[in-house]
Amino acid sequence: MSVVLTVGDRQVNLEELYPLLTQYQLLPRLAREILIDQAIAGIELTAEEREQSLGFAYQQLQIANEEQRQAMLKQSGMDLEQFETYILREARLERYKRQTWDEQLEGHFLNSKDQLDRVVYSLIRTKEPGIAQELYFRIQEGEEEFSDLARQYSEGGEAQTGGLIGPVELNVPHPRMMQLLKSTPVGQLCPPTQIGEWWIILRLEKYIASQLDENLRQRLRNDLFQKWLTNQIQTRVDYHPPQPPTALSQTMITNQGADHDGALMISSADVWSD
């Protein structure tokens, strides 16, 4: 069996490859890449796009001369044609995403906007309901600043920032906190609320509505692509582990090709005789 990979003093042959891909959970990744290749098979780049993509890749890899390029190829196990095909594949994939999902981006944005909007808020959390109630009244009456009490009493990491958190997207906080932040006017103090083992005091400081700019368009485009790819893997991929040879088939393989030099040949009569 031919050796396909050498790592240190270990040589991996073709027969070992499937078990290793399975062991290190690389088969799903391989299936993913094959699905992508099938999807972008008809995508072509212009000469200018090819040049720009390759130039950007070499710049990112800090490859400035032929010696550095050869070292990179040796390390990656690819020849130059394979490497450039790999780089251009990314550009072809981006074009495929745009052609396939750009018309859906606005609708996807509107459906996701509530979770994409960002907030800045102040938080105090404690496991003692009595302390939470007392702190709420002290802030409500203007006796002390929220930030000072957060530093002194809050039992989470927000104590280090005076209770201030954000900007974060609305899908980041606990669902109950998200509901409070969405329904509370900026600057209004929320009464103590129990969430799990915690009692929290919350105040919305700033609400930042999301905008469908190019960065967000790219993110939504990738989100739709990943959902499509997950579905493709679930519905179009089957794994077929190689079956170990039986004793009989192994014997037949061993003796296959026997010639007039006297090697043993197994006939059907030999196999089924009692």
Confidence at residue 234, expressed as pLDDT on a 0 to 100 scale: 94
13 membership: H or E segment, kind and range:
strand 10-13
77 φψ region: left (φ > 0), alpha (ψ -120 to 50), beta (else): left
C-alpha closest to that of 127 among 153, 152, 151, 145? 153
Q: Which 3 state secondary structure label does DSSP give 202? A: strand
pLDDT at residue number 266: 36
In three-state secondary structure terms, 38 is helix
Which amino acid is residue 20, in one-letter code?
L
**Residue among 160, 184, 185, 182 nearest 173 (CA):** 182
Taking only the tens place, the pLDDT of each residue in 142-199 is 999 999 999 999 999 999 999 999 999 998 889 999 999 999 999 999 999 999 999 9
DSSP string, 40-97: TTT----HHHHHHHHHHHHHHTT--SHHHHHHHHHHHT--HHHHHHHHHHHHHHHHHH
Q: What is the pLDDT of residue 230?
A: 95
DSSP 163: T
Report how far residue 154's alpha carbon sits from residue 102's, in angstroms, rounded to the nearest whole number: 45
pLDDT at 246: 59
Are 239 and 25 in contact by the 8 Å Cβ rule? The answer is: no
| CA atoms in the 13 A half-sphere facing the CB of 146 | 22
Distances (CA, A) of 150 to 38, 138, 224: 55, 12, 40
Phi then psi for 88, rounded to 5 degrees?
Answer: -70, -25
Q: What is the pLDDT of residue 1?
A: 65
Return the biggest CA–CA distance within the chain: 106
SS3 121: strand
Tokens, residue 265: 């040949």
One-letter-per-residue 3-state SS of 236-258: HCCCCCCCCCCHHHHHHHHHCCC
What gap in Å lies between CA 188 and CA 175, rounded to an integer? 19
Ranges of residues in the chain with a pLDDT under 50 are: 248, 258-260, 262-274
Which residues is 165 bridged to in the sheet? 121
DSSP 165-199: EEEEETTSS-HHHHHHHHHS-TTPEEEEEEETTEE
- One CATH from 3.10.560.10, 3.30.2020.10, 1.20.1250.20, 3.10.50.40 for 118-208: 3.10.50.40
On whether the CB atoms of residues 120 and 205 are closer than 8 A, the answer is yes
pTM of the model: 0.74
pLDDT of residue 263: 43
| Burial group, residue 170, by CB count within 10 angstroms (0-12, 13-18, 19+) | buried
